[in-house]
Amino acid sequence: MAITKSAKKALRQSLKRKKTNNVQKKNLKILLKKVQFLIKENKKEEVQNLLPQIYKTLDKASKTNILKKNTASRKKSRIVKQIVKI
């Protein structure tokens, strides 16, 4: 356990950041699952309506280092490829 005052503060900060990161990861996973389901159901219009929200979420996750930049761009690219296939 943290002993010094600065170590205690660092622990508090890391727990707070972990909480926000987990919320953001969970929202991202839910959104990606929703898109995959809509793609399987061949609902192109609904997926295209969600596309800006997906881009925003992925960009924000890569900006805050929850995802790596290339991982986010790869996910965006694969989603668009799947939409075009429909």
CA distance 48 to 35: 9
pLDDT per residue over 6-61, tens digit each?
A: 999 999 999 999 999 999 999 999 999 999 999 999 998 999 999 999 999 999 99
Residues 35, 43: contact at Cβ < 8 Å? Answer: no
Q: How many CB atoms lie within 10 A of CB 50?
A: 17
Q: So what's the pLDDT on residue 1?
A: 77
Is the distance from CB of 81 to CB of 73 less than 8 angstroms? no
pLDDT attached to residue 24: 95
**Cβ-Cβ contacts under 8 Å for 23 (sequence gap 6 or more):** none
